[in-house]
Amino acid sequence: MEWTEKLQIITDYVENHLQCTEEPLNYEEISRISGCSFDFFQKVFSYMNGISFSEYVRLRKLTLAGYDLKSTDMKIVDISYKYGYNPPTSFTKAFEHFHGVSPREARKPDIQLCVMPKMQPLQKEQYSWRLEKKPALHLTGKSTKISCVRNEHYQKIPAFWNECQKNGIYSALISIDAGSPKGLFGLFGDFDSHTNEMEYSIMTISDRIPSPAPAIPGFSQITIPEAMWAVFDCIGAVPRAIQKGWGYLHEEWLIKYPFKLAPYPELEWYSDGNVYSEDYLSQIWIPILEEDL
Whether 211 shows a pLDDT value over 80: the answer reads no
What pLDDT is recorded for position 213?
41
Whether 212 shows a pLDDT value over 50: the answer reads no
Longest CA–CA separation in the chain, Å: 64
Mapping DSSP to helix (H, G, I), strand (E, B) and coil, where does residue 119 land? coil
Whether 31 shows a pLDDT value over 80: the answer reads yes
Report pLDDT digits (tens) over 49-89: 778 999 999 999 999 999 899 888 899 999 999 999 988 89
d(CA 34, CA 285): 35
AA identity, residue 45: F
| 206: number of Cβ within 10 Å | 22
Torsion angles phi and psi, residue 274, rounded to 5: -85, 105
Whether residue 124 contacts residue 173, with contact meaning beta carbons closer than 8 Å, is answered with no
What pLDDT is recorded for position 130?
83
What percentage of the chain exceeds 90 in pLDDT?
41
Give residue 90's Cα distance to chain centre. 24
Neighbouring residues of 235: CB distance < 8 A, sequence distance ≥ 6: 241, 278, 279, 280, 281
Compute the average pLDDT of residues 265-292: 88
| 285: number of Cβ within 10 Å | 23
Length of the chain: 293
Whether residue 56 contacts residue 49, with contact meaning beta carbons closer than 8 Å, is answered with yes
d(CA 244, CA 132): 22
Report pLDDT digits (tens) over 90-128: 999 999 999 888 999 988 877 878 878 888 766 555 567
Name which of 264, 286, 270, 142 is nearest 201 in CA terms.
142
User: Beta strand 183-192 with 266-271: parallel, antiparallel or unpaired?
Assistant: antiparallel
Report CA-CA distances (Å) from 264 to 220, 229, 260. Answer: 16, 10, 12
AA identity, residue 205: I
Whether 289 shows a pLDDT value over 80: the answer reads yes
**220-224, strands of its sheet edge to edge:** 129-134, 227-235, 281-288, 266-271, 183-192, 197-205, 137-147, 220-224
Which of 34-38, 120-124, 181-185 reaches the highest mean pLDDT?
181-185
**Mean pLDDT rounded to a whole number for the chain:** 86
What pLDDT is recorded for position 102?
93
* Across 60-64, 243-247, 253-257, least confident range: 253-257
More confident residue, 8 or 257: 8
pTM of the model as a whole: 0.59
Compute the average pLDDT of residues 153-173: 89
d(CA 292, CA 186): 26
| 16: number of Cβ within 10 Å | 12
Q: What are the chain's domains?
A: 3-106 (1.10.10.60), 129-292 (3.20.80.10)
